């Protein structure tokens, strides 16, 4: 039996990390994307630099279902260490490609094996030992191009683009590609029933990661200071900001930077620098992951209480503690929403694809400035580090930055007495001044200790309670400013609803279609921000039963909804996945089916 399919399959690569495979696998995916079919490459890498098993999964799906799907159709198994486990994942009728320089019996009759002696071929063709190793990877890309009947020229262009400026390298790379391609043309002509046919489903799409997009969004959003400390999976967000800034933010003539990029000594310092810069009127941000958020929590409380705008990207990884640094989770919801001791609440923005990462990065700075408080943008490893087929970035040149309530020298001249923490407008948001604005007016003392409307230190507890109560009002104001939820339907038509958020979106779209096919009518809402606004509460109100889909153990979003909304908990049913892999559509539909039918689900939570 052979699996037969056009533009709809999952291919997985098993390699050894540090061997250059990720970029070859990425190239394979990009080739499919350029053929006009949406792809979702996912790099499943170890927390180590070299020598350990690493995998790379690419879902190819013309309909645009790009969530993870279990069951592999094609397996490129290049790592003998993991053969055993790898082969098990292959569906019956699937295809196994392996390096037959060392022949092997896989003990499965129900799969199709394509043998290619890659090492031997590379040893024949190349003399440099590094190249011999590296080019095996391009070899199997060539093979895939052949058996999937793809346009080889796409890959040749990709190679040419990659080595622009180092043209000498183009030829050996193309040669490597051809090794596999030609071998397959000779040996596997018409063997494989999975095909990639050119299509146009990627029109208007780009292939990029959430971190890359968010970093770019920070450039467009006017961030000028980035202070960070390296941590997987957030590092590439800061690096993206730096890369794009170096390209587009250098003063012509002086060659000086219109940005400051600082690798801090740790996360506490990174957050302190971010707060200091924002206090002084620059848009500044930091990016980190769980352990960093824990370390920053004292500072987050300062920014909350002293009302300093702050933007923090938390690219979530598997927790708790150091946990699974190279796996994905959505398990920092509570620690982000309630970060720091005392009564605190923070704005969360939760994008679901790279396009939204770009948009929300821009919006985060507007919200932080407008609300004078920390804004935490929650990504996760899957969204942040993997490339997604996402809508093109857009920018309206009429956009303006909302710098919030900042008093200029002229404003101050017109004011009798400036009160930094006075609620002048009744929205809970006071006015601020930047240092150095006015020679006589507007200076004040920023502090994390109790203060009055004029920023004076006070130990009057009632006064302090007033300030705390104003912060509640400000948070209410925030709920009308943050992005609204997105609904799958124009009008609710079911008594059941699904609530989901973030990177789950891609599996959810598929799940909803499957449920629809199964005649299960269910409304769906994607939460995009905290505090929850009226539309969120109305949706919850409107339904008797709500599934909340989360990639964590404790149902943290459910907790947040109950805590904030006074929602009857019985109607909130968790669907959880916390094994570090992105949730699948199947997982979701199985759980829903099980709940509806009263039978246990087929997938373990």
Ligand X SMILES: Cc1ncc(C[n+]2csc(CCOP(=O)(O)OP(=O)(O)O)c2C)c(N)n1
Q: Phi-psi category of 7—alpha, beta or left, where left has phi over 0 and alpha has psi -120 to 50? A: left
CB of 207 to another protein, least distance (A): 6
- Which of ligand SF4, its own copies, another protein, none does 342 bind, CB closer than 5 to 8 A by kind? its own copies
Among positions 130, 166, 247, 341, the unique one binding its own copies when judged by CB under 8 A: 341
- Taking the least distance from each CB to ligand X, the nearer of 146 and 274 is 274
Task: Identify the residue whose tokens are 């699948």.
Answer: 584
CA 295 to chain CA centroid, nearest Å = 21
Residue with tokens 């919030």: 404
State the nearest-atom distance from the C-beta of 368 to ligand SF4, in Å. Answer: 36
Q: What six digits make up the tokens of 270?
A: 């990174």
Instruction: Report whether 529 contacts 562 (CB < 8 A).
Output: no
**Smaller CB distance to ligand SF4: residue 48 or 157?**
48
Q: How far is CA 254 from the centre of its chain?
A: 36
Q: What sign does the dihedral 249-253-255-258 (CA atoms) show? A: negative
CB of 232 to ligand X, least distance (A): 6
Indicate the helix (H) or strand (E) that contains 471: helix 461-481
Considering only 79, 274, 507, 581, the residue that binds its own copies (CB under 8 A) is: 581
Q: Judging by beta carbons within 10 Å of its beta carbon (0-12, 13-18, 19+), is residue 484 exposed, middle or buried?
A: middle
Among positions 41-60, residues that touch another protein (CB under 8 A) are 47-52
Q: Footprint of another protein on residues 457-476 (CB under 8 A)?
A: 457
Please give the residues from 444 up to 463 whose contact with its own copies meets the rule CB under 8 A.
447-450, 459, 461-462
Rounded Cα gap, residues 113 and 267, in angstroms: 49
Q: Closest CB to another protein among 159 and 478?
A: 159
CB contact set of 397 (below 8 Å; sequence gap of 6+): none
- Closer of 218 and 577 to another protein (Cβ): 218
| CB within 8 Å of 440: residues ≥ 6 apart | none
Length of the chain in terms of residues written: 605
Site for another protein in 222-241 (CB under 8 A): 222, 224-225, 227, 229-232, 235
Residue 230 interacting partner from ligand X, ligand SF4, its own copies, none (CB closer than 5 to 8 Å by kind)? ligand X
H helix or E strand, kind and range, residue 102: none
Q: Binding its own copies by CB under 8 A: which of 47, 182, 437, 494?
A: 47
Please, what is the end-to-end C-alpha distance for the chain in angstroms? 32
Peptide bond into 429 cis (omega under 30): no
CB nearer ligand X, residue 199 or residue 446: 446
Contact flag: residue 252 with ligand SF4 (CB under 6 A): no
Closest to another protein by CB, 20 vs 565, is 20
How far is it, in rounded angstroms, from Cα 300 to Cα 311?
A: 10
CB of 276 to another protein, least distance (A): 3
Nearer to ligand SF4, 46 or 222 (CB): 46
Among 267, 264, 222, 277, CA closest to 245: 222
49 binds, among ligand SF4, its own copies, ligand X, none (CB under 5 to 8 A by kind): ligand SF4
Cβ-based nearer residue to another protein, 245 or 336: 245
The span from the CA of 136 to the CA of 80, in Å, is: 14
Nearest distance in Å: CB 48, ligand SF4: 7
**β 72-77/53-61 pair status:** unpaired
- Nearest Cα residue to 22 out of 60, 63, 64, 50: 50
Nearer to ligand SF4, 20 or 483 (CB): 20
Q: Measuring CA to CA, which residue among 392, 7, 40 is closest to residue 203?
A: 392
CA distance 415 to 427: 19
Q: Which of residues 561-580 bind its own copies (CB under 8 A)?
A: 562-563, 565-570, 578-580
Enumerate residues 6+ apart whose C-beta is below 8 A from 213: 240, 354, 355, 357, 358, 361, 390, 393
Minimum distance, C-beta of residue 49 to ligand X, in the bound complex (Å): 8
Closer CB to another protein, 266 or 538, in the complex: 266
Q: How far is the CB of 52 from ligand SF4 (least distance, A)?
A: 11
Report how far residue 156's alpha carbon sits from residue 145's, in angstroms, rounded to the nearest whole number: 11
Site string for another protein, 297-336 (x = CB under 8 A): -xx--x------------------xx--------------
Token duo for residue 431: 């006015």
Segment near another protein (CB under 8 A), from 134-142, 250-258, 368-376, 526-534? 250-258
Residue ranges that bind ligand X, judged by CB under 6 A: 229-231, 267, 291-292, 295, 322
Question: Smallest gap, in angstroms, from Cβ of residue 276 to its own copies?
Answer: 15
C-beta closer to ligand X: residue 177 or 293: 293
Site string for ligand SF4, 41-80 (x = CB under 6 A): --------xx------------------------------
Smaller CB separation from ligand SF4, 50 or 518: 50
Residue 526, φ and ψ in degrees, nearest 5:
-105, 115
Task: Give least dist CB 253 to another protein, A.
Answer: 10
Q: What is d(CA 354, CA 336) in angstroms, rounded to the nearest whole number?
A: 21
Smallest distance, Å, CB 53 to ligand SF4?
Answer: 16
Backbone angles phi, psi at 406, to 5 degrees: -120, 130
The contact set with its own copies (CB under 8 A) reads 46-47, 290-291, 293-295, 297-298, 301-302, 304-306, 318-327, 329, 331-332, 334-335, 338, 340-345, 447-450, 459, 461-462, 464-465, 468-469, 472, 552-554, 556, 559, 562-563, 565-570, 578-581, 604
The contact set with ligand SF4 (CB under 6 A) reads 49-50
């Amino acid at each position: 039996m052979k699996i037969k399919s056009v533009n709809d399959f999952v291919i997985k690569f098993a390699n050894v990390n540090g061997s250059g495979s990720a970029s070859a696998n990425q190239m394979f995916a990009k080739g499919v994307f350029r053929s006009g079919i949406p792809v979702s490459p996912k790099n499943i890498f170890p927390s180590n630099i070299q020598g350990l098993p690493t995998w790379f999964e690419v879902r190819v799906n013309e309909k645009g279902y790009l969530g993870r799907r279990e069951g592999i159709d094609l397996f490129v198994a290049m790592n003998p260490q993991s053969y055993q486990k790898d082969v098990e994942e292959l569906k019956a009728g699937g295809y196994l490609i392996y390096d037959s320089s060392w022949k092997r019996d896989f003990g499965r009759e129900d799969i199709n094996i394509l043998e290619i002696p890659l090492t031997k071929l590379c040893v024949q063709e190349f003399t440099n030992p590094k190249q011999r190793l590296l080019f095996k990877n391009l070899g199997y890309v060539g093979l895939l191009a052949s058996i999937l009947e793809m346009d080889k020229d796409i890959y040749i262009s990709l190679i040419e683009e990659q080595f622009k400026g180092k043209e000498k390298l183009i030829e050996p790379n193309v040669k490597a590609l051809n090794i596999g391609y030609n071998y397959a043309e000779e040996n596997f002509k018409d063997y494989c029933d999975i095909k990639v046919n050119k299509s146009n489903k990627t029109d208007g799409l780009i292939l990029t990661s959430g971190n890359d997009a968010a970093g770019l969004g920070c450039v467009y959003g006017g961030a000028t200071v980035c202070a960070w400390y390296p941590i997987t999976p957030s590092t590439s967000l800061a690096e993206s900001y730096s890369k794009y800034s170096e390209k587009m933010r250098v003063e012509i003539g002086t060659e000086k930077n219109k940005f400051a990029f600082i690798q801090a000594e740790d996360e506490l310092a990174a957050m302190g620098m971010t707060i200091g810069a924002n206090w002084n009127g620059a848009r500044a941000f930091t990016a980190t992951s769980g352990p960093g958020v824990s370390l920053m929590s004292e500072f987050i409380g300062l920014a909350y209480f002293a009302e300093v705008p702050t933007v923090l990207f938390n690219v979530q990884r598997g927790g708790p503690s150091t946990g699974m640094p190279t796996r994905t989770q959505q398990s920092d919801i509570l620690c982000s929403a309630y970060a720091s001791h005392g009564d605190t609440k923070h704005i969360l923005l939760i994008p679901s694809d790279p396009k939204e990462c770009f948009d929300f990065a821009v919006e985060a700075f507007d919200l932080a400035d407008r609300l004078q408080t920390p804004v935490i943008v929650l990504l996760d490893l899957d969204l942040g580090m993997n490339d997604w087929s996402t809508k093109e970035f857009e920018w309206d040149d009429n956009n303006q930055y909302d710098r919030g309530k900042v008093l200029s020298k002229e404003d101050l001249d017109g004011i009798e007495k400036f009160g930094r923490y006075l609620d002048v407008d009744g929205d809970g948001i006071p006015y601020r001044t930047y240092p150095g604005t006015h020679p006589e007016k507007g200076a004040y003392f920023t502090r994390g200790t109790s203060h009055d409307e004029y920023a004076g230190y006070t130990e009057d507890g009632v006064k302090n309670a007033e300030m705390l109560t104003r912060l509640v009002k400000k948070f209410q104001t925030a709920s009308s400013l943050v992005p609204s939820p997105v609904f799958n339907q124009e009008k609710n038509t079911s008594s059941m609803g699904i609530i989901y958020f973030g990177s789950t979106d891609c599996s959810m779209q598929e799940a909803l279609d499957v449920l629809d096919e199964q005649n299960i009518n269910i409304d769906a809402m994607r939460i995009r921000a905290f505090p929850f606004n009226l539309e969120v509460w109305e949706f919850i109100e409107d339904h008797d039963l709500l599934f909340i889909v989360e990639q964590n153990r404790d149902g943290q979003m459910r907790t947040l909804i109950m805590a904030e909304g006074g929602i009857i908990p019985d109607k909130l049913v968790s669907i959880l996945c916390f094994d570090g892999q992105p949730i699948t559509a199947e997982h979701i539909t199985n759980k829903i089916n099980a709940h509806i039918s009263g039978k246990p689900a087929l997938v373990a939570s």
